[in-house]
């Protein structure tokens, strides 16, 4: 793996920010398309774009102070509104009442906080003409469309240099050939040799982006799962279905057990303020990370979930999930069992059990074959998702498939129903 990927592989946790004119509508970032708002009408929103409560320092502090290592910011979403100064279009934040280059502000604030920066940029958009639909229907439009897309990307990576990741999106309606994606990446690399590409311009890019599941690609390569905190990327005023801090911690642990990154999203309101629920969830997750960071940072691959396929084991547990590092097995206890915790299926000898916290606490335990019994735990969970570190005599392994004992002979992994799980 090339050296430019080192920081990314160890980053683990990042903040995705979806902000744009759609935030003023408050029905998600696809409102223009889904409601077929004409370009003329949509452009009028720019006259109301003041971003008065958009505070790049506050956004970057929210990330940095809660254990995140990078920020991914929407420079231009599918609506075509640029959040940066550009020579190539008037449809941008400098020409709105905000008169601000928000991308420049985010890049500067991120650097101050020691965060890496990823720029999200949509290839196609719904405002510039010719657009992707014109490009499909008409060869002359195709040439113009591709030329203007490449030019736009060139300007972006020239203005913001150096940045760390170029996060393409909006690849409809073409694949790599149609986008002339190899030439596109080569052009970017010439300007910024250390840049990391995602895979959404049709090429595989430098990391995988699993959708709808959180497991490492097999064979492993760097990966990032992006997730919403409710069910929308851009601000939706009717979406109150927030994930709990425990769920976010669970996602982070899943990323850690697959040696990947979790990129979690906030969608600021039209005025740039961040919904309090998001701030609250991230602060709680951050507080947890300060206490238990060692169980998600620099971890090794450790598969434990039923849905893992291929070479993976079908492992699971009733009290919580696992991560691993060297000879340490970390048990993240999402559902506290009471004063006694029993873990079976252990394929290694436990030398020490430690309840992590401000003061680590050695726990009494016994182990008989694959069954570990930890006693003298507090009756109630000491806070959100406590973590027990099991120090083992070898690289930890768990056998949690369906039988009451581990059979002598190898057998297929337990698989609930292959049709339930997308390959
Ligand atoms: C895209 C955007 O359309 C969306 O608005 C948001 O910005 C998100 C982060 O990215 O949405 C996607 C992209 C890819 C898939 C699904 C939604 N996919 O590969 O299944």
What is residue 212's predicted lDDT score, i.e. its pLDDT?
A: 67
Residues in CB range of 59: below 8 A, 6 or more apart: 15, 17, 71, 106, 109, 266, 268, 274
Nearest alpha-carbon partner for 160 in 201, 217, 109, 119: 119
The protein residue whose alpha carbon is closest to atom 13 in ligand 1 is 169
Q: Which residues line ligand 1 (CB under 6 A)?
A: 29-30, 169, 211, 226, 233
What is residue 416's predicted lDDT score, i.e. its pLDDT?
A: 52
Q: The dihedral of CA 378, 380, 386, 392: what is its sign? A: positive
What is residue 218's predicted lDDT score, i.e. its pLDDT?
A: 80
Packing angle, helices 245-257 and 276-292, rounded to 10: 50
Nearest alpha-carbon partner for 248 in 13, 61, 47, 90: 13
Distance 423 CA to ligand 1 centre (A): 19
What is residue 311's predicted lDDT score, i.e. its pLDDT?
A: 46
Choose which residue among 211, 227, 263 to substitute to test ligand 1 binding: the one with the highest number of ligand atoms within 8 A of its C-beta. 211
Per-residue pLDDT tens for 231-278?
999 999 999 999 999 999 999 999 999 999 999 999 999 999 999 999
Q: What's the burial of 408, exposed, middle or buried (CB within 10 Å: 0-12/13-18/19+)?
A: exposed
The DSSP 8-state label assigned to residue 87 in this structure reads S
Distance 170 CA to ligand 1 centre (A): 8
What is residue 305's predicted lDDT score, i.e. its pLDDT?
A: 44
Q: Which residues of 264-303 are buried (b: 16+ CB within 10 A; e: fewer)?
A: bbbbbbbebbbbeebeebbebbbbbbebbbbbbbebeebb
Distance 231 CA to ligand 1 centre (A): 12
Which segments of 160-272 does DSSP mark as H helices, in order? 176-179, 181-191, 245-257
In order of their start, the domains of the chain are: 3-295 (3.20.20.80), 320-392 (2.60.40.1180)
Q: Would strands 13-17 and 261-266 be described as parallel, antiparallel, or unpaired?
A: parallel
How many other CB atoms sit within 10 Å of the CB of residue 318? 9
The DSSP 8-state label assigned to residue 57 in this structure reads H
Choose which residue among 29, 231, 233 to substitute to test ligand 1 binding: the one with the highest number of ligand atoms within 8 A of its C-beta. 233
Distance 228 CA to ligand 1 centre (A): 11
| Closest ligand 1 atom number to CA of residue 212 | 20
Q: Are the C-beta atoms of residues 177 and 130 closer than 8 Å to each other?
A: no
Q: Model's pTM, two decimal places?
A: 0.95
Per-residue pLDDT tens for 110-141?
999 999 999 999 999 999 999 999 999 999 99
pLDDT tens string, the chain, 423 residues long: the values are 789 999 999 999 999 999 999 999 999 999 999 999 999 999 999 999 999 999 999 999 999 999 999 999 999 999 999 999 999 999 999 999 999 999 999 999 999 999 999 999 999 999 999 999 999 999 999 999 999 999 999 999 999 999 999 999 999 999 999 999 999 999 999 999 999 999 999 999 999 998 767 878 888 999 999 999 999 999 999 999 999 999 999 999 999 999 999 999 999 999 999 999 999 999 999 999 999 999 999 999 987 544 444 444 444 678 998 999 999 999 999 999 999 999 998 989 999 999 999 899 999 999 999 999 999 999 999 999 999 999 999 999 888 777 788 888 877 665 555 544 444
């Amino acid at each position: 793996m090339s050296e430019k990927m080192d920081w990314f592989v160890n980053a683990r946790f990042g903040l995705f920010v979806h902000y744009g004119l759609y935030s003023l509508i408050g029905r998600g970032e696809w409102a223009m398309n889904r409601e077929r708002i004409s370009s003329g009408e949509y452009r009028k929103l720019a006259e109301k774009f003041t971003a008065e409560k958009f505070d790049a320092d506050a956004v970057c502090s929210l990330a940095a102070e809660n254990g995140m290592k990078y920020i991914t910011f929407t420079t231009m979403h599918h609506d075509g509104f640029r959040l940066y100064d550009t020579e190539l279009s008037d449809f941008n934040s400098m020409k709105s009442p905000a008169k601000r280059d928000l991308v420049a502000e985010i890049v500067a604030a991120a650097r101050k906080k020691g965060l890496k920066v990823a720029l999200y940029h949509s290839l196609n958009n719904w405002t510039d003409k010719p657009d992707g639909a014109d490009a499909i229907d008409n060869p002359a439009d195709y040439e113009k469309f591709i030329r203007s897309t490449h030019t736009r990307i060139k300007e972006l990576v020239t203005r913001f240099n150096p940045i760390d990741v170029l996060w393409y999106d909006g690849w409809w309606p073409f694949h790599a050939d149609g986008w002339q994606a190899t030439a596109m990446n080569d052009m970017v690399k010439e300007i910024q040799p250390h840049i990391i590409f995602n895979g959404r311009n049709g090429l595989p890019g430098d990391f995988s982006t699993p959708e709808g599941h959180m497991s490492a690609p097999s064979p492993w390569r760097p990966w990032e799962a992006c997730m919403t905190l409710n069910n929308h990327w851009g601000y939706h005023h009717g979406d109150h279905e927030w994930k709990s801090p425990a769920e976010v911690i669970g996602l982070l642990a899943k990323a850690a057990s697959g040696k990947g990154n979790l990129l979690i999203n906030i969608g600021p309101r039209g005025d740039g303020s961040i919904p309090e629920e998001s701030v609250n969830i991230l602060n709680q997750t951050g507080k947890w990370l300060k206490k238990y960071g060692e169980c998600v940072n620099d971890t090794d691959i450790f598969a434990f979930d039923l849905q893992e396929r291929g070479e993976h084991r079908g492992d699971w547990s009733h009290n919580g999930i696992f991560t691993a590092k060297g000879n340490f097995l970390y048990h993240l206890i999402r559902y506290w069992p009471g004063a006694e915790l029993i873990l079976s299926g252990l394929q290694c000898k436990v030398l020490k059990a430690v309840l992590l916290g401000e003061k680590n606490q050695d726990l009494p335990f016994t182990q008989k074959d694959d069954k570990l019994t930890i006693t003298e735990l507090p009756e109630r969970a000491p806070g959100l998702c406590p973590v027990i570190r099991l120090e083992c005599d070898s690289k930890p392994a768990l056998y949690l498939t369906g039988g009451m004992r581990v059979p002598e002979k190898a057998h297929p992994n337990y698989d609930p129903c292959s049709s339930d799980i997308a390959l």
